[in-house]
A and B are shown apart, each in its own frame.
Chain A
Amino acid sequence: MSDHNVLEPMLDLYLFETTQLVEQLEQNIICSEKSGGYSSSQIDEIFRVMHSIKGSSAMMMFDNIATLAHSIEDVFYYLREAKPANIDCSQLTDLILAGVDFIKNELEKIRNLNNADGDALLLIDAIKNLLDGLKKSNPNTVDGEPAKGASAKKQQYYISQDKSKGLFNKHFFMATIFFEDHCEMENIRAYTIIPGLQEIAEDISYIPENIMEDDSTAEIIQREGFKLFFATERTHNEIHEYLGKTIFLKKLELAQSDESAPSKQILRPRQILLEDAPVIIPQPVEKCAVEKDVEVVAASNPSMINVNVVKLDKLMDLVGELVISEAMVTQNPELKGLVLDNFTKAARQLEKITSELQDMVMSIRMVPLTTTFHKMHRVVRDMCKKLGKEVQLELIGEATEVDKNIIEHISDPLMHLIRNSLDHGLESGEERIAAGKPAVGKITLEAKNAGNDVVILIKDDGRGLNKSKILERARQKGLLLKPETELTDKEVFSFIFAPGFSTNDQVTEFSGRGVGMDIVSRNINSIGGIVLIESTPGKGTTISLKIPLTLAIVDGMTIGVGNARYTIPITSIKESFRPREKDIIVDSDGNEMIMVRGQCYPILRIHRIFAVKTDVASYTDGIIIMVENESKILCLFADELIGEQQVVVKALPPYIKNIRQVEGLAGCTLLGDGSISLILDIGGLMHRCYA
């Protein structure tokens, strides 16, 4: 793996394609299990996928993946050929899924530039045992080598040729051909020589004889060479040159003898000749033609191409800049007051096209949630098995599209929420029946568009959150900032997002969700989304994730501090107001705070943090913007609000990151007038403030 330039894109492609295949496989398996068995088209599909994974993994020298894939391939090959009746579907599925997990895990290691060093031997053994078991319990069916049926048919080829058209000037030759070491399947390689030789020679016979029927002849050829006897009019040199073209030839011995050469004749095997007429070929035992599955056809649509996301990011970036440049040209101050009819027309056209271009680029980056949603089937299946619950997962609106970058961020939170629903939300079968509900629990995962956001709902019909327990816990943790009676349901439920709210001692007993809800909420917040909870005791819980369509564009509030411009993501702003001097409190360390409706919040002066010169120092001249992050609140002090607008987020250039502390800055953007605005990272600012 020394040649990095060659391997990088190969590895990339390998990872991409294999991951895709494995995920597709997982869906396939879970579907099959649900429908109570593997259909022949599904078996065929799984066989093919494993075969492909084996091939490319072996090429990339990930032998553990290749061997594992091979063993699974063997099982499905057997299933396909022998069609055994009594398969333990559940056991098979478990094993194959374990295999899928192993491969996924290894791929992840490779992706992180670690060695794919996982040991699949145990798994492979288990799979082999399963296959052996299957074969034993189905002794009557064909075993793994269905070619037998084919070769049992009438011996092919070889009928004596008409001797009358014998050659006038015959030379007899004996050639011994040695193939390169380790080139495998020597017998078949040897066989490929025959059809061509037949055109220039006759009376062809060879040792070993039954090369096409008996694969063990490969070893003999490897050891002793492939011996050919034939008669031809060609000269020694011509024949030498012809046989010299043999692929993977290591050594060629060519001896010429005249008409009668009895000593060699003894060595000659029984004479066999290739027939002139087309040979009778055994029909392939099975046809692999897959029933045309809609999905397969769609996937192999030749008008689709795969594009590297990095390129799309770059494209998005460029279009963002184009939009800004367009504004800089068409709204250039130097054009003010001029009457430019044609220019205005042209500018309008440009504006129209750039905005269409922007929409198009955005839509290219959009990916349906289908894959992410379907992954949840697996989560549900595994959890149900573990917990002994029966749960049905319903997916709605899985075709809803979101930006590629977003997808990566919501998969884990979704999994988390589903697990929580299953573990804590849904009751056991008996409990459900006792409560007058159907025994099978139900989780609904729904996605829908709402303006510039996508809303994902995770709904269960379980027991709902236990308000009093949450309150009790919140009290212990000192999270209650106002009287319990004044808290709305939403506020109570939102306590479970507090970091460390769940601890081990109450995870199992706790009626609601506990495990790592703070992580869920942090992940969703980090992509500019919010999490909302609704719950009715006894009826169930609905968690909604409201996430933006894209990360590349945010709704921002632009604020001014001195000559500088900053943008705050709208989602973090709670309110903004002009403070009264009497609400400001300064503590003994000089820290400034503000009292709002009886609550005290710290104030951060932006001009102070970023060392910007401004004339606005007094609170009554500027404005306070109250922002929230992870349920902490902070007040930012700025000179003025400039306005709300959508901005294209760009990463800070590395040279700025290198020379300055950039905590508190999420990126930058260009405003319509060409000036740069820094995008504030509220989480980072909090950290600076509270640290």
Chain B
Amino acid sequence: MKKVLIVDDMVFMRFALKGMLTKNGFEVVGEAENGALGVEKYKECSPDIVTMDITMPVMTGLEALQEIIKYDPRARIVMVSAMGQERFVKEAILYGAKYFIVKPFKEEQVLETINKVAAL
């Protein structure tokens, strides 16, 4: 079972993603509500995949992404962005994020993305 870490400041978003993922055979091993906690959790539970929100308090998703990549260059991180955040997504991809999901997302899209990233 692939392990997923969800980083998002909204409980709602974490809940939505967690539901979609656990229903489809992923194990959500951790949740974090800001980038800093996300990095911590990554080191703690070394997940196979991370979903990373971009706009978060304390530490943004972009900063957390770089921290995690520094710690584990092979980390598979999928950015969760909203419309209008293209430039952040680009930056994230350049920093080493594997892919991205655009909010509002549908279950099929999330699964397609996560499944393929998991298979990389």
Contacts and interface: CB of A to CB of B under 8 A. Distances in A.
Interface of A: 6, 9-10, 13-14, 16-18, 45, 47-48, 51-52, 54-56, 58-59, 61, 66, 70, 145, 147, 150, 156, 183-185, 188, 191-192, 196, 212, 215, 245-248, 279, 281-282, 284, 287-290, 292, 296-297, 300, 302, 306
A188 B117 contact: no
Nearest to A306: B11
B86 interface: yes
Nearest to A283: B91
Interface string B80-105: 00111011011101110011101111
Given A59-B12, A288-B55, A306-B11, A192 B93 contact: yes
B10 A52 contact: yes
Contact of A185 (B89, B98, B103): B89
B29 interface: no
B119 interface: yes
Contacts of A14: 12
Interface size bucket, B side?
35 or more
A55 B82 contact: yes
A345 B87 CA distance: 70
A59 B34 CA distance: 20
B16 A54 contact: no
A52 to B, nearest CB: 5
Contacts of B37: 300, 302
Q: Can you list the 6 inter-chain pairs with the closest CB atoms, starting with the nearest?
A: A147-B87, A58-B104, A59-B104, A288-B60, A56-B12, A55-B103
Contacts of A156: 94
Given A10-B19, A145-B87, 5 more contacts: A56-B13, A59-B13, A70-B84, A150-B87, A192-B99
B62 interface: yes
A185 B33 CA distance: 26
Contacts of B93: 188, 191-192
B44 interface: no
B93 to A, nearest CB: 6
B46 interface: no
B35 to A, nearest CB: 9
Contact of B86 (A188, A245, A289): A188
A274 to B, nearest CB: 11
Contacts of B72: none
A14 B15 CA distance: 10
A184 B93 CA distance: 16
A147 B91 CA distance: 10
B58 A10 contact: no
A643 to B, nearest CB: 47
Interface string B102-118: 11110001001100110
B12 A212 contact: no
Interface string B6-20: 000111110110010
Nearest to A196: B120
B91 A282 contact: yes
B33 A300 contact: yes
B103 A59 contact: yes
Nearest to A44: B57
Contacts of A290: 57-58
Contact of A302 (B33, B90, B120): B33
B13 A55 contact: yes
Given A59-B105, A245-B119, A281 B57 contact: no
A248 B101 CA distance: 11
B58 A292 contact: yes
Nearest to B9: A52
Contact of A245 (B10, B60, B116): B116
Nearest to B84: A70
B10 A56 contact: yes
A473 to B, nearest CB: 51
Given A13-B15, A17-B10, A306-B11, A48 B57 contact: yes
Contacts of B86: 185, 188, 215
Nearest to A18: B12
A10 B16 contact: yes
A289 B58 contact: yes
A281 B58 contact: no
Interface in B41-95: 55-60, 62-63, 82-84, 86-87, 89-91, 93-95
A245 B112 CA distance: 10
B94 A300 contact: no
A9 B15 contact: yes
B62 to A, nearest CB: 6
21 contacts: A6-B19, A13-B12, A18-B12, A48-B9, A48-B55, A55-B10, A56-B12, A147-B87, A196-B120, A245-B119, A246-B116, A287-B60, A287-B63, A289-B58, A296-B57, A296-B58, A300-B9, A300-B34, A302-B33, A302-B37, A306-B11
A489 B119 CA distance: 80
A70 B87 CA distance: 17
A4 B115 CA distance: 26
Contact of B55 (A16, A17, A51, A247): A51
Contacts of B119: 245
A281 B13 contact: no
Nearest to A194: B93
Contact of B16 (A16, A59, A61): A59
A14 B14 CA distance: 11
Contacts of A47: 55
B116 to A, nearest CB: 5
A289 B33 contact: no
A247 B112 contact: yes
A66 B84 CA distance: 13
Contacts of A292: 58
